[in-house]
């Protein structure tokens, strides 16, 4: 179910100029599908260049308030993602209150 949410957002990100959305794309990190798991809902994907290399990386927030980080090791036009764990600060995962 969560994979669908990510795929839909990825499809929106690929929208073309005439207002027609591109088909949804299921994202993977290496050989593993990106998935927040069955126990954690409300995937909130967002693309940002976190390391300043010109390629947008993927952050996936979830209901628990953590942000899974996937570094783009592909290109800007053909991204490939590498799982980097949860985004952290001072050695601890960042946790955002969402209610
Ligand atoms: Ca980057």
pLDDT tens figures, 43-66: 888 999 999 999 999 999 888 889
- Tell how far the Cα of 77 is from the centroid of ligand 1, in angstroms: 12
Whole-prediction pTM: 0.74
List all residues 6 or more positions away from 51 whose beta carbon is below 8 Å from its beta carbon: 57, 71
Q: Which has more confidence, 6 or 80?
A: 80
- Tell how far the Cα of 50 is from the centroid of ligand 1, in angstroms: 5
**Per-residue model confidence as pLDDT tens digits over 66-88:** 999 999 999 999 999 999 999 99
* Residue (of 42, 45, 41, 43) closest to 72 by Cα position: 45
- Tell how far the Cα of 18 is from the centroid of ligand 1, in angstroms: 28
Residue for token pair 């990100």 = 13
Q: Determine the pLDDT at residue 36.
A: 80
- Tell how far the Cα of 8 is from the centroid of ligand 1, in angstroms: 22
Q: What percent of the chain has pLDDT over 70?
A: 81
- Tell how far the Cα of 55 is from the centroid of ligand 1, in angstroms: 4
Q: Determine the pLDDT at residue 17.
A: 58
């Amino acid at each position: 179910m969560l994979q669908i949410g990510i795929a839909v957002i990825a499809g929106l990100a690929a929208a073309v100029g005439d207002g027609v959305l591109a088909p949804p794309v299921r994202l993977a990190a290496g050989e593993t599908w990106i998935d927040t798991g069955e126990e954690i809902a409300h995937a909130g994907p967002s693309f940002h260049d976190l390391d300043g290399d010109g390629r947008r990386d993927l952050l996936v927030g979830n209901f628990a308030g953590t942000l899974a980080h996937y570094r783009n090791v592909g290109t800007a036009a053909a991204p490939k993602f590498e799982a980097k764990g949860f985004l952290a600060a001072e050695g601890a995962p960042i946790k955002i209150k969402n209610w």
